[in-house]
Structure 1
Amino acid sequence: MVLPILCQGAFTVLRQIEPVLVLEQLGSTFFDTALQMVVRDRCVNATYPDTHLSSDDSQQKAMSDFFMTYNLIIRLVPILPALLLARLSDRRGWRRAPIAVPLSGYLLSRLVLLLVVLLRLPLSWMFGAAVLYGLSGGFCAYWPGVMTLASLRSTAADRSKTMMRVELLYGMAGLVGSLVSGHLFLLYSSSLGNGTILLIVSSVLHLLSLIHSIVLLQVKQVSSKEPEENGTLDPLASSDVPAEAPAQINLVNVVMLGAAAALYTCAVAGALGILGVFVLKEPLSWTATQVGYGNAYGCMIFFTSFLGVMVFRRCFSDVTLILIGMLSFASGIYFMSFVTATYMFYLARSLNLFAIIPLPTIRSLLSQQVPASSCGTTLTSLQLALKFAGLVYIPTFTKLYQATLDWYPGLVFVFASFLTVLAMVPISVVGWRSAPRRQYERIL
């Protein structure tokens, strides 16, 4: 009796989105470490005679230029495919399409980098890989698809917790992958170079996640209404959003939440995009193993953010949780501008304990401002808005970093801290609009 029950339970777990998420994130962390180190090795002899830069600054400029172009491609090309996949998901009920199709693009882009390493192809081939990745919808379609499935299987009261649980699993998979990736990158044989085994494993993981999403993934919708929790201390805790999805779109809240998400994404993605290059220059000069450890430490923020949601959600509203997360990132990234040693890097990152909380909580609030039939399209539209923001923040952060390499390379992190504080304004507006209006009666 026990064995059939265990088998049935295991099969039920396998049909959820979590196994796909873990396999994809493990493969992606392997790929990210491999790409970062391959780009560093290919840019080591970069020169800019007209600028009179040192060899280290020339390498930094070449790397930042590559990642600027690469990141712009993977953010702009997926816009139309992601929107089409979202409409297909909402209108036709093909909820697996925004997950399975992007995973095929993930797999192709990983295989291209593997060919670049094996055949010594030019690094510019990765721009073609970015186009293939984008035409499949990329992360712009994949992540809203994951969040849509998570939203459908949860009630409105538990949606923030469910989405944060997905973020936790995503971060824990990234933690494991990052710890291993640096060591796998250094493995090679007489006929294989550094990174080959790492990329082979990454491709296999993406292939398994693609097969799983097509064959085993189950779409399940829960529409039960649960009573609100008692004992909330924050007066906003039970009044941020309605208990169930509204019949009409709350346009003002949607715009405010979108603006806050865009500003916060500009700050986080812009700063972390430069951080990957920053740690490879003097005085840090990290190796592949140190890069993996640094990425793993960053993934720990998913765990601390999840704990923060579990602890604070009983006392504070979703709006307050978002503000706590933004303040956490603003303080940590500001301290990062003064980092000159590895231990200082870890101290700065430790201040980002709750930095993951804002975006999934914003998505949770956003999904409850629109009808259920528009949830997938709305979340994808938010992701598209964040991709359009990349047109601004990617070149802005890159050029600011290049312009301040000689005298203050950490200035980009101060700028990111300022943008985060600015993002707190529209969230505060949403909190003010959602606050209960007390009505007083005159006592005769």
Structure 2
Amino acid sequence: MKGLFLVEPLVALYAFSSFLIYPLVQQYVYRRLWQQLTNTTYPIFDNASRCAENSSSNHSLHHEEVQRQASLFSLYSELLSTVPSLVVTLMLVAYSDRGGRKITIIMPLIGTLIYTLTFLTVSYFELNIYLLIGSSLLSSLFGGLGTFLGGCFAYIADLCEDGRQKTLRMAGVDMMIGLLSGVAAISTGYFLRAAGFNWPFLTSAMCQCLNLLYAIFILEETVKKAPTGSVVLDRPPQHSAIKQMFLGVYYMFARASCRCKTVLALLMTIFTSFSFAYTGGISPVTLYELNEPLCWSEILIGYGSALSTTVFLVSFVGVSAFTYCGVPQLLIVLLGILSVASGMVLAAFAKTTLLMFIVRIPMLLSIMPFPVLRSMISKIVSKSEQGALFACLSFLESLTNNVSAAVFSSVYAATVAWYPGFVFLLSAGLCAIPLFVLGVVGLIGTDVAKEDKSPEPSVSEEENPVGDQNDCNRLIS
């Protein structure tokens, strides 16, 4: 049976299975902590707000304490799983340049399945919730979302020759993540209300098993290994996996021209700083919605998460339309960063259910910078080192995502008593960093365009895998 060169079904099912339980994680921990700290049953009402039913000062103190403990629980979980996940991401995705892309996809699927089954076990037998931190650490040894997406984006880069096609297909992957996660999120509230926590966890585990079977038996490998015993004269000597990882990342910068090296570093800075601000800003949203004065039920949380899918859909349409119309890629990134900053400022002052739903409107273009930046960076790296590139990007993205979640969880725990919306203002303020660096890239790009008038010497791809001045110039167009 001939395999398929399609990672999109994997991404879609992974997003659905993951986000089917992602909104439940904080809610489950929140309810268990409520029971432990108050020795009472968690209050569940059919209306939108629990605050009106429980407006006593003692109840408010319970809310604040549970909010602090839940945010600290998220902090501990993120800290313990960050380092193993980062190391595995960097090693696996860089190794995929010669070992194949499928290993970067299969390993995270196994880790996610372990985490989901552990959650199911803890929920079913009502075990200690701190076992979930141990399962998070264990699953991180198989990689995480960064490993999975790094492998998928490298897989797409192997298949796409045209830069526009690469941008659109990477944007399509981001859109699929958003759409399927939204479908899962809106299902979660009703699922939880009708069947409790166990059935969503079981459904997610079954979806992940199907995904694993597709990745192992149907997905075709894009990196073809040389036949055993054959000698390839024009290929550099093979190194160990760890040495190959460091060499791949090193050669991306060492073999580049000075201008390309600078642009590459600045684009990665934009990518990581924007990811830090965006991920950190959205990480405490569920806790914020559970807190006073919103006090959302699980149904409203599901609707809010589902409404966020329009962000991914509109961002994909925006990238497609702007790319088709020839809008400069830096301008697309600029619009996305401004979209996040405006949405976070509005969220900081959202005190009603309607306003919290309206927050999603100014953030409709917030996902656009991610696929555009990935495509821009990928243009100046040779085809043989796409794995090293996306290993580096996934490492930086996973690092910033985990650190930002930990930082914003601790900030939220410290500020929830006097101003819960402070974390959103912090996120909006941090958007100034990628905006500033984006302006620097625009200036450097103009200089490169002026200097790039003499023909470059002919250099083979193996000798100069990062590209020449023309590659840097194309980034700004």
Task: Judge same fold: TM > 0.5, yes or no.
Answer: yes
Taking the aligned partners of 1:23 and 1:416, their CA distance within structure 2 comes to 30
Residue number in structure 2 paired with 1:272? 282
Q: How many residues in Structure 1 have an aligned counterpart in Structure 2?
A: 398
Is residue 63 of structure 1 aligned with residue 53 of structure 2?
no
AA partner of residue 333 (structure 1): M
1:246–1:369: 8 Å Cα contact kept in structure 2? no
Distance across 2 between alignment mates of 1:165 and 1:272: 21
Specify the alignment match of 1:322 in structure 2.
333
Secondary structure in structure 1 of the residue aligned to 2:292? coil
- Shift of residue 371, structure 1, vs aligned partner: 1.8
Runs ≥4 residues deviating over 6 A: none
Q: Distance in 1 between matches of 2:422 and 2:32?
A: 27
Deviates more, 1:265-274 or 1:201-210: 265-274
Deviations, residues 211-235 of structure 1 (Å, cap 9, x unaligned): 10010012348xxxxxxxxxxxxxx
Distance 1:137 1:421 in 2: 31
Aligned equivalent of 1:343: 354
Q: CA separation in 2, counterparts of 1:311 and 1:246?
A: 32
Q: Could you say what secondary structure the match of 1:283 adopts?
A: coil
Amino acid at match of 2:153: M
* TM-score of the two chains, using structure 2 as the length reference: 0.79
Counterpart for residue 163 of structure 2: 157
TM-superposed CA distance for 1:346, in Å, is: 1.3
Deviation, 1:438, is 5.4
Q: 1:230 maps to which residue?
A: none
CA deviation after TM superposition for structure 1 residue 383, in Å: 1.9
1:404 aligns with 2:394: no
Match status 1:132 vs 2:138: yes
RMSD: 2.3
Equivalent residue number for residue 307 of structure 1: 317
Counterpart in 2 of 1:179?
A: 186
Contact 1:163 1:360 in 2 (8 A): yes
CA distance in 1, matches of 2:23, 2:407: 24
Give 1:140 deviation, angstroms: 2.1
Other-structure match for 2:436: 425
Q: CA shift at 1:363, angstroms? A: 1.1
Question: Which aligned pairs between 1:285-304 and structure 2 lie closer than 5 A?
Answer: 285-304=295-314
CA contact (8 A) 1:318 1:361 kept: yes
* Match of residue 228 from structure 1: none
Counting only pairs closer than 5 Å after superposition, residues 224-235 of structure 1 correspond to structure 2 as none
Distance 1:60 1:246, change over 3 A: closer
Consecutive unaligned residues of structure 1, counting only runs of 5 or more, are 1-7, 189-193, 222-244, 440-444
Q: 2:21 aligns with which of 28, 31, 50?
A: 31
Deviation at 1:340, TM superposition (A): 0.4
8 Å Cα contact 1:333/1:349 also seen in 2: no
The one-letter code sitting in structure 2 at the alignment partner of 1:307 is V
Matched residue, 1:368 = 379
Higher relative contact order (CA 8 A, sep 6+): 2
Amino-acid identity (%): 25
Q: CA deviation at 1:276?
A: 1.8
Once residues 373 and 336 of structure 1 are traced to their aligned partners in structure 2, the CA distance between those partners, rounded to angstroms, is 43
Partner of 2:272: 262
Whether contact under 8 Å (2:101, 2:222) holds in the other structure is no
Contact 1:72 1:390 in 2 (8 A): no
Question: Cα distance 1:437–1:365, how it changes in 2: closer, same or farther (>3 A)?
Answer: closer
Question: What CA deviation, in whole Å up to 9, does each residue of 1:100-152 have, x standing for no partner?
Answer: 11100010100000001111111111111111221001112111001111122
Secondary structure class of the residue paired with 1:408: coil
Distance 2:423 2:23 in 1: 22
TM-score normalized by the length of structure 1: 0.84
Match of 1:238 in 2: none
**In structure 2, what is the Cα distance between the partners aligned to 1:293 and 1:153?**
36
